Amino acid sequence: MDIEAEIRALQLDSAEDDKGTTIPEDAKPEEVEMKEKVEEVEMTDKVEKEGRKDEVDGKSQPVQAEPKVKDKEVAALEDAEVPDEMESQNKRHLNVVFIGHVDAGKSTTGGQILFLSGQVDDRTIQKYEKEAKDKSRESWYMAYIMDTNEEERVKGKTVEVGRAHFETETTRFTILDAPGHKSYVPNMISGASQADVGVLVISARKGEFETGYERGGQTREHVQLAKTLGVTKLLVVVNKMDDHTVNWSKERYDEIESKMIPFLRSSGYNVKKDVLFLPISGLVGTNMKTRVDKSTCPWWSGPCLFEALDSIEVPLRDPKGPFRMPIIDKFKDMGTVVMGKVESGSICEGESLLVMPNKAQVKVLAVYCDENKVRRAGPGENLRVRLSGVEEEDILAGFVLTSIVKTIPAVTEFTAQLQILELLENAIFTAGYKAVLHIHSVVEECEIVKLLQQIDPKTKKPMKKKVLFVKNGAVIVCRMQVNNMICIEKFSDFPQLGRFTLRTEDFVLRGKQIVVNLIRSCWR
């Protein structure tokens, strides 16, 4: 394998942000189908298998592997008989993930959206108000719309990704409400990997913005993860503007915006093209469905949240590409049912496909999009696919349902370009480094086998000197290894299946992480 050739190719792919800084992102445009549907979002059962314990409020508790509404969804799936074609739905569909530091107001804002769009009636709100009061969590009643399980309501913290739908004039939205607590980052990853658009919720309340933005705060970690997971557009909502420490202060809003912009840029977002800031109060519902009144906020003349969501444009994906659907989960239901988001190509009932890396040839018995049975579905759709030819036990989250003719490579070793974004203070990055690799629905231990070359950030060319270790901010090409076969693609071929994140338990516990991007070549 010619590393030099790979590195040369790599130079051609580099993208630049609007300040001319190198960003570890797509030369190739992101491709997203406009009419999208989503299925259940949940953490992978890997987390459960790993037996990971999580800390909330200093207490240890297991992460739950069951999706919030799986039972309901499964029932819907069994009942579904309508052979709807996707084309019959003329509104475009977007998956929006709500991310940000714990208690920023993600669930409250999500709940308020549902209330304002008429999905929740006054009586239910009154019921939630009473329930929240009984739990001494008065102000959490709006969050109860999204936080549906008892544990979440008692603790006031989202654990599993909540899911809900609402519509505007032009678009059907699926909201994915991610947890902000650092113990639940794997759940957040699962939610973000199914979204194209992110709403980054930031609390403007005194002290809260600061904690979230600190190194180790989830504002930073979520932004970096979202970028590598394919969230191409971000709405940054500066929330809690009604709070008495904020009082719709322009100074506070400007301060937050001016601190966030350089950080977003360094995380790979093109701030001019892909990011929009706006102030809201999720709790009161201000500047959400209608623009904020001048008497409340004289200085804001930009859009409200609904307008901003409506205006987001995501480019179309190619439905004719080779079929790729990373599997997020599987279960038994009159055969084997796999769930996942189609990253490329289309799927048809009756078609033969492969499950990789175990090379099981399967037949597509049925395809479900939300509760609807469909004959075919295109890229961007979140699906449940019933298969014959493979046992449920033989499939793991992270496997990929793929076309037979143009199948996906399965590897244990590959060459990648990494940009090291956050290392512990004074730490160095070298061969032998172990971390957890997150790539599409794969979560796998990996090791850096060899550092091959360092890239000069100015010239973007490989540096001549031999590289044994690097520090924060470095861009390097290195060889990586995993114990089990994983299915990955070259970034230049399939950005969604070629970009990844590395984390280590230690770093996450201490609230630090490194994020790396771009698989440049695979060893086949």
User: Which residues contribute to the site for ligand GTP (CB under 6 A)?
Assistant: 102-108, 139-140, 143, 156-158, 179-181, 201, 239-240, 242-243, 281-283
Min dist CB 144 to ligand GTP, Å, is 9
Min dist CB 110 to Mg ion, Å, is 8
Q: Which is nearer to ligand GTP, 100 or 378 (CB)?
A: 100
C-alpha distance from residue 150 to each of 157, 194, 275 (Å): 10, 25, 35
Min dist CB 204 to ligand GTP, Å, is 9
Q: Which is nearer to Mg ion, 106 or 440 (CB)?
A: 106
Binding partner of residue 196 among Mg ion, ligand GTP, none, CB cut-off 5 to 8 Å per kind: none
Min dist CB 173 to ligand GTP, Å, is 17
107 binds Mg ion (CB under 5 A): yes
CA 212 to chain centre: 18
Cis peptide leading into 83, omega within 30 of 0?
no
Q: Which is nearer to ligand GTP, 97 or 339 (CB)?
A: 97
- Phi first, then psi, for residue 364 (nearest 5°) are -85, 110
The first and second tokens of residue 262, run together, are 């350089």
Q: Which 3 state secondary structure label does DSSP give 219?
A: helix
Min dist CB 180 to Mg ion, Å, is 6
Q: Which range in 20-28, 99-107, 458-466, 512-520 contacts Mg ion by CB under 5 A?
A: 99-107
Residue 46 CA to residue 65 CA, distance in Å, equals 8
Residue 187 CA to residue 64 CA, distance in Å, equals 10
Min dist CB 486 to ligand GTP, Å, is 30
Min dist CB 277 to Mg ion, Å, is 21
Q: Which is nearer to ligand GTP, 14 or 211 (CB)?
A: 211
Q: Is the dihedral of CA 74, 79, 83, 85 positive or negative?
A: negative
Min dist CB 217 to ligand GTP, Å, is 12
Q: Which is nearer to Mg ion, 152 or 243 (CB)?
A: 152
Q: Which is nearer to ligand GTP, 187 or 517 (CB)?
A: 187
Residue 515 CA to residue 500 CA, distance in Å, equals 8
Residue 348 CA to residue 85 CA, distance in Å, equals 11
- The residues, ordered by sequence, that sit 6+ positions from 307 with a Cβ below 8 Å of its Cβ are 291
* β-sheet bridge partners, residue 187: none
Binding partner of residue 495 among ligand GTP, Mg ion, none, CB cut-off 5 to 8 Å per kind: none
Task: Report the site for Mg ion in 141-170 (rule: CB under 5 A).
Answer: 158
Q: Which range in 9-17, 102-110, 165-173, 417-425 contacts Mg ion by CB under 5 A?
A: 102-110
Binding partner of residue 105 among ligand GTP, Mg ion, none, CB cut-off 5 to 8 Å per kind: ligand GTP
Q: Which is nearer to Mg ion, 103 or 343 (CB)?
A: 103
Min dist CB 501 to ligand GTP, Å, is 19
Phi-psi region of 314 (alpha: psi -120 to 50; beta: other; left: phi over 0): beta
Q: Which is nearer to ligand GTP, 139 or 484 (CB)?
A: 139
183 binds Mg ion (CB under 5 A): no
Q: Which is nearer to ligand GTP, 283 or 480 (CB)?
A: 283
Q: Which is nearer to ligand GTP, 64 or 419 (CB)?
A: 64
The first and second tokens of residue 211, run together, are 């904690």
Q: Which 3 state secondary structure label does DSSP give 12?
A: helix
| CB-CB contact of 366 with 304 (8 Å) | no
Residue 107 CA to residue 225 CA, distance in Å, equals 19
Q: Which is nearer to ligand GTP, 102 or 226 (CB)?
A: 102
Beginning with the edge strand found earlier in the chain, give each strand of the sheet holding 197-203 in spatial order.
162-167, 171-177, 92-99, 197-203, 233-239, 275-279
Binding partner of residue 281 among Mg ion, ligand GTP, none, CB cut-off 5 to 8 Å per kind: ligand GTP
Map 388-413 to HEC letters.
ECCCHHHCCCCCEEECCCCCCCEEEE
Q: Which 3 state secondary structure label does DSSP give 256?
A: helix
218 binds Mg ion (CB under 5 A): no
Q: Which residue is nearest to ligand GTP (CB)?
A: 180
Q: Which range in 55-63, 64-72, 104-112, 430-438 contacts Mg ion by CB under 5 A?
A: 104-112
Binding partner of residue 474 among ligand GTP, Mg ion, none, CB cut-off 5 to 8 Å per kind: none
Binding partner of residue 189 among Mg ion, ligand GTP, none, CB cut-off 5 to 8 Å per kind: none
Binding partner of residue 217 among ligand GTP, Mg ion, none, CB cut-off 5 to 8 Å per kind: none
User: For the chain, percent helix, then strand, then coil, each to nearest 5?
Assistant: 25, 30, 45
Buried b (16+ CB within 10 A) or exposed e, 506-520: ebbeeebbbbbbbbb
Min dist CB 158 to ligand GTP, Å, is 3
190 binds Mg ion (CB under 5 A): no
Residue 103 CA to residue 69 CA, distance in Å, equals 23
Number of shown-chain residues binding Mg ion (CB under 5 A): 3
* Residues binding Mg ion (CB under 5 A): 106-107, 158
